Structure 1
Amino acid sequence: MAAKLSAEQIADKLKALPGWEYKDNAITKIFRFEEFLSGIEFVQKVAEIAEGADHHPDIAINYKRVTFSCTTHDSGGVTDKDFKLAENIEIAYTDRQG
Structure 2
Amino acid sequence: MPRLLTSAEIARQLAELDGWAGDTKALQRTVEAADFPTAIRIVDRVAEVAEEMNHHPDIDIRWRTLHFTLVTHSASGVTQYDVELARRIDEIVREHPLA
Mark the runs of 5 or more structure 2 residues left unpaired by the alignment. Answer: none
Distance 1:86 1:38 in 2: 19
Q: In the alignment, which residue of structure 2 is the partner of 1:84?
A: 84
Q: In the alignment, which residue of structure 1 is the partner of 2:33?
A: 33
Mark the runs of 5 or more structure 1 residues left unpaired by the alignment. Answer: none
Relative to the length of structure 1, the TM-score reads: 0.93
- Kept in 1, the 8 Å contact 2:10–2:24? The answer is no
SS at match of 1:96: coil
Distance 1:74 1:6, change over 3 A: same
Distance 1:22 1:85 in 2: 14
Percent sequence identity is: 34
Letter in 1 for 2:5: L
Letter in 2 for 1:55: H
Structure 1 residue ranges, 4+ long, deviating more than 4 angstroms after superposition = none
Q: In the alignment, which residue of structure 1 is the partner of 2:8?
A: 8
Distance 1:18 1:92 in 2: 12
When the two chains are superposed, the root-mean-square deviation of aligned CA atoms in Å is: 1.3
Relative to the length of structure 2, the TM-score reads: 0.92
